[in-house]
Amino acid sequence: MNSHGTHHRTQLIALAHPVYLSLLASVASGIINTVWVSRLGGAAVAAVACATNTENVLLGVALVFASGTTVLVAHARGARDAAAVRAAVRGGWALCALVTPVVAAGGYLLREPLARLVLGGDAQAARLATAYFAISLPGTAVFFAQQLVDGLLKGAGDTRTPMRLALSANGLILLCDPLLIHRYGVPGAAASTVLCRCAALGAGLYALRRTALLRDSARVRPATTLPAALRRTLTTGLPMSADFTVRQGGALALVAIVARLGVTAVAAYAIAYKVMYVATMAFYAVRQAAAIHTAHTRGAGEDRRRDIGRQAVLISGALGLTAAVLFALAAPWITAAFGAGPDVARQGVLFLRCIGPYLLLMACFIALGGVFEGSGGAPALLRVTLLGTAVQLPLAHALSGLGLAGICLALALAMAVQCAAVALLLRRTRRQEETGVCPVAAG
């Protein structure tokens, strides 16, 4: 058991740390754009922020085919079934080809209403956002293809190449942004992002051709028809996409609740939330690693899955505890680094020092979610996420009278409910395993 635990821990760390750097690099592109665009004024910053938030939503759409394909390719790799690998690859590309034109063309046609919806009555910011969307939304085709390429490589067990591609793309953005923004303004920021992603996509497609698993599977007959493969990718990826979208929606609704506390609280919350990304992305990296590793070992039995889950929780829990302690100790310096005023800084420090229990619970829940996804239990996990969101928002509203400390308490209590629900699911899965009923996927 001890040697198995060490093996799983080593595998999870090896898979997770490149994913974490990839996630950081993805966030960095928005930050880089904002830094350079800030020289053009507040309206330009608002326009780019609007576009960045829109892309976060579109990432949820991309997860339908990207994450679904990752899990299916990993399953087939674990079973050493080249025909199933070929079917998973075909299904992923087919679903991507079906979704991309709808999003890219529909987004382009609706670019003006979308900008006005997000930015309200600020005519200048809406005009700049519309100009940005005119380039970025058609460029969704590149973004979606890049997400699928990353998903294919991760499913094949390669998380390092997506990391290198993400770092390369953002390195190019760092070079191109000042040139294109200086010449074309806000649209230049969009053009820089799309062009640099094109370069990364080209390198990613080349990496696919050099991946032995994917190259060899291209020579065999697929295990299923193309429509069947497409449906399987959709049913596998949709719960993961919905889980992400529900969490994003819950976070957006929480901002509206925090807004009842005043502008100072909103500013403090916004700063703290950006800081928390450094920790939460580490949890999601462990989650992806757990999903890939669980999918690779699918069919090896409940004990193997339990070992992977235990190690994922230990790794992510240690990261959560470390983040909680560092945030509590360094909170004054963190808020000072953002140049926050004294009132904002005071509330930001309070939030960062109260958020520790939530981070620790979230770390364990998010990591364990990867085992559910890798073993076919994503629909059950989605129901837990819906439950948590349904509990979190009323609690946050009720406890908002305590200020940001009440918001932190609501987050922690809602996450505790989700952890308890997952524990019940695991207990039921164990009983089903013992009685011969289909486990997690039946949940």
56 belongs to a structural domain:
yes
Range of the domain at 209: 1-224
Residue 379 CA to residue 243 CA, distance in Å, equals 9
3-state helix, strand, coil in the chain (%, to 5): 90, 0, 10
**pLDDT value for 264:** 77
Provide the number of structural domains found in the chain.
Answer: 2
Q: Does residue 248 share a domain with residue 387?
A: yes
Q: Of 193, 224, 255, at which residue does a domain stop?
A: 224
Per-residue pLDDT of the chain (443 residues; tens, 9 = 90+): 456 567 778 878 887 778 788 777 766 666 666 667 767 876 777 777 677 767 777 888 888 899 889 989 988 888 889 999 999 999 999 999 999 999 999 999 998 888 887 666 668 888 888 999 999 999 999 999 999 999 999 988 888 898 899 888 888 988 898 899 889 988 998 999 999 999 999 999 999 999 989 888 888 999 899 999 999 999 988 888 888 888 777 876 787 788 778 777 777 777 777 778 888 888 988 888 888 888 777 655 556 777 888 888 899 999 999 999 999 999 888 778 766 678 878 888 898 999 999 999 999 998 888 888 777 777 888 888 889 888 998 999 999 889 889 999 999 999 999 999 988 887 776 666 556 555 444 44
**pLDDT value for 18:** 82
**pLDDT value for 443:** 41
Q: Does residue 243 share a domain with residue 299?
A: yes
**pLDDT value for 90:** 95
**pLDDT value for 301:** 55
**pLDDT value for 300:** 52
**pLDDT value for 441:** 42
**Sign of the torsion formed by the C-alpha atoms of 5, 7, 12 and 18:** positive
Which residue in 147, 148, 143 sits closest to 193, CA to CA?
A: 143
Q: Does residue 265 share a domain with residue 218?
A: no
**pLDDT value for 424:** 86
Which residue is listed with tokens 């674990």? 78
Q: Does residue 288 share a domain with residue 423?
A: yes
Q: Of 198, 224, 250, at which residue does a domain stop?
A: 224
Q: Does residue 311 share a domain with residue 195?
A: no
209 belongs to a structural domain:
yes
Q: Of 224, 247, 278, at which residue does a domain stop?
A: 224
**pLDDT value for 442:** 40
**pLDDT value for 123:** 80
421 belongs to a structural domain:
yes
Q: How far is CA 64 from CA 94, 139, 172, 350, 391, in A?
A: 12, 18, 28, 37, 26
Q: Which residues contact 225 (CB under 8 A, 6 or more apart)?
A: none
Q: Does residue 179 share a domain with residue 33?
A: yes
- pTM for the full predicted model: 0.76
Report DSSP state, residue 259.
G
Which residue in 98, 73, 96, 70 sits closest to 84, CA to CA?
A: 73
CB 69 within 8 A of CB 155: yes
The secondary structure element, H or E, covering residue 258 is: helix 226-258
CB 424 within 8 A of CB 384: no
157: left (phi over 0), alpha (psi -120 to 50) or beta: left
